[in-house]
Structure 1
Amino acid sequence: MASANDNLLTLIADAMPGLSKSEKKVASAILADPEAATRSSIAVLASIAQVSEPTVNRFCKKFNATGFPDFKLNLAHCLASGIRYVSQNVEARDSVETSTSKIFNSTISTLSLVRDKLPPDLIVQVVDQLIQARRIHFFGLGASSSVAKDAEHKFFRFNLPVSFHEDVLMQRMLAASAAPGDVFFIISYTGRTMELVEVAELAKANGAAVIGLTAPGSPLAKVCHLLIAVAVPEDTDEYMPMTSRIVHLVVLDALATGVTLRRGPKFQGHLKKIKDSLRATRFPSDEA
């Protein structure tokens, strides 16, 4: 049940997976343009969402409103607080210009929401675990494999044995040979990929620490020692994950920066040495 302190737009976005098909249409219409929704009549909103007026009323009551007028008041209050959420899924009828705008707006808004929900003490715990690791394995499949690869690129700089793997058989063999001190960092937008859950369980059974960057309440989330839960409303059935991938990359940036800061000023010389090694591979800059 929502409280007075809940962000209505966030509640709607979080509820999307459990809504009916018609309710999702109402939610999408509201999230696409919340300000317009506060000015609309129930008939106009129903027309935009292509649903019936009773459907809109039922939707409003799901969020502790007595009806559409009460829902609009709550929505206006949410917008007055300065909080925005722009959920604009790309649709087949969109032009390239429209889809580009939607992707940027959704990503910016989602990053702000994830930032506000991410517990700072959790980041500290994960950084501590990574610094103490004997070795770190980053696993991902599909779209998440590119995120795992980027993690390897970031973390190898910290004088830690780091590897990235997207081959399921290699993942299973590494998990089977895991030992205390190893960290398996598993990245999955849905958290429902069977192979990754099985690998996490195997690594955990062998005494390794398992960190998950995945959806809250997912099968993968339930087997992790430490969970960075990221809920991003995104339809992966029709289009590739977009916003979720960017959010995962930013979370990894925060972790890598945390490790750098924890290592202290003396560690900067090591990072500079790696950076300087690339100078010979680049053309001189034209900057003065």
Structure 2
Amino acid sequence: MRQFSVLTLIDAQMNHYSPAEGRVADYVLENPTTTLNLTTKQLAKQCQCSEATIIRFCQRVGINSFKELKIELAKDAHKVNTEQLPNLPVNFEDETDAVLEKVISKSMSALMNTSRLVSTSAIDAAAEAIHGAKRVFLYGAGGSSVVALDAQYKLLRIDISALFSLDSHVQMVMATNMTKDDVLFVVSTSGQTKEVIELMQIAKDKGAAVILLTQHGSSPASRLADILLTISVEEQHIRIGTMSARIAQLAIVDAMFIRLCIQKGNQVFERIIDTHNVIQKIKR
């Protein structure tokens, strides 16, 4: 099964680098083995940039230092070429076993890459904001609505007032009633959806805290968010990138929910047990 690959992550984010960082990315992708033997100063010279740019590039891909980047490059160098095959796009002639392997591989890659990018302090901040909120409003357009709905279900289980609507107009109406005591939790993979940006702006105007779950990189929505939760940028081959993005988003929601439960203390588990028992009665 496919593991974390720093080269895959670097390549997936090519549209989000500054010009200088882009030169570093191009060099590393074309010369991964050579990069292993370079110092920060030597790589900066090769890419015609400053050493500070090298450090910023490393941080852009979720790595703290150039030394750590070289460690990840060394790991990539030891992987056999066949390990890369499941990451290929789904083809119409693929058999079911190949499709399954590619989908699972891409999901695993998204999870591993996201674990490198998402800020744990942002997860804590999101959990703390929701913990202290009077109400939580949730929204996601299209496929992102599935993730927002999952977050609402989890919050309701621990007695948090969580309001969600698939209708953007209804959500806008709810947003106009937000206060500084409320939180808006938005899921938007691209961070460019018009209704999402408008909704976030309304929430900001009302003084509500805005949490955004989106892919890594600058976007109109990310610039509006108070708390930013990022997943890795995934390829969009026949929607397979969108599917893997959803898996990564659900994982972040789960992590945030568990942190929230920890902050609320032992009594929260009594509520989870109570809701579980109620559902079990329906199943009988």
TM-score range for the pair, normalised by the shorter chain length: 0.7 to 0.9
Change (3 A) 1:192 1:91: farther
Establish whether residue 13 from structure 1 lines up as the match of residue 18 from structure 2: no
Task: Indicate if the aligned counterparts of 1:135 and 1:182 stay in contact, CA closer than 8 A.
Answer: yes
Establish whether residue 253 from structure 1 lines up as the match of residue 254 from structure 2: yes
Q: What CA RMSD, in Å, does the superposition of the two structures yield over aligned residues?
A: 3.1
Residue in 2 that maps onto 1:104: 104
TM-score w.r.t. structure 1 length?
0.72
TM-score w.r.t. structure 2 length?
0.73
Q: How does 1:166-181 map to 2 (within 5 A)?
A: 166-181=166-181
Distance 1:68 1:270 in 2: 51
Residue in 1 that maps onto 2:235: 234
Establish whether residue 88 from structure 1 lines up as the match of residue 88 from structure 2: yes
Establish whether residue 79 from structure 1 lines up as the match of residue 80 from structure 2: no
Deviation of residue 80 (structure 1)? Answer: 5.0
Task: Indicate if the aligned counterparts of 2:144 and 2:188 stay in contact, CA closer than 8 A.
Answer: yes
Deviations 1:119-139 (A, max 9, x none): 221111111001001100110
**Equivalences, count:** 237
Distance 1:90 1:17 in 2: 25
Deviation of residue 232 (structure 1)? Answer: 2.5
Report the identity percentage.
23
Task: Indicate if the aligned counterparts of 1:175 and 1:199 stay in contact, CA closer than 8 A.
Answer: yes
Change (3 A) 1:81 1:251: farther
Residue in 2 that maps onto 1:21: none
Structure 2: state its 5+ residue gaps.
Answer: 18-22, 38-69
Distance 2:212 2:247 in 1: 16
Q: Which amino acid aligns with 2:11?
A: I
Deviations 1:117-174 (A, max 9, x none): 2222111111100100110011011001111111111111222211112211112112
Deviation of residue 276 (structure 1)? Answer: 1.4
Distance 1:67 1:279 in 2: 57
Q: How does 1:137-286 map to 2 (within 5 A)?
A: 137-215=137-215, 216-235=217-236, 238-239=238-239, 241-283=242-284
Between 211-220 and 68-77, report the one with greater CA deviation. Answer: 68-77
Task: Indicate if the aligned counterparts of 2:7 and 2:76 stay in contact, CA closer than 8 A.
Answer: no
Question: Tell me, what secondary structure is at the counterpart of 1:185?
Answer: strand
Deviation of residue 116 (structure 1)? Answer: 2.7
Question: Tell me, what secondary structure is at the counterpart of 1:221?
Answer: coil
Deviation of residue 247 (structure 1)? Answer: 0.8
Distance 1:92 1:246 in 2: 23
Greater relative contact order: 1 or 2 (C-alpha under 8 angstroms, separation 6 or more)? Answer: 2
Task: Indicate if the aligned counterparts of 1:234 and 1:244 stay in contact, CA closer than 8 A.
Answer: no
Distance 1:76 1:250 in 2: 26
Q: Which structure's CA Rg is the greater one?
A: 1
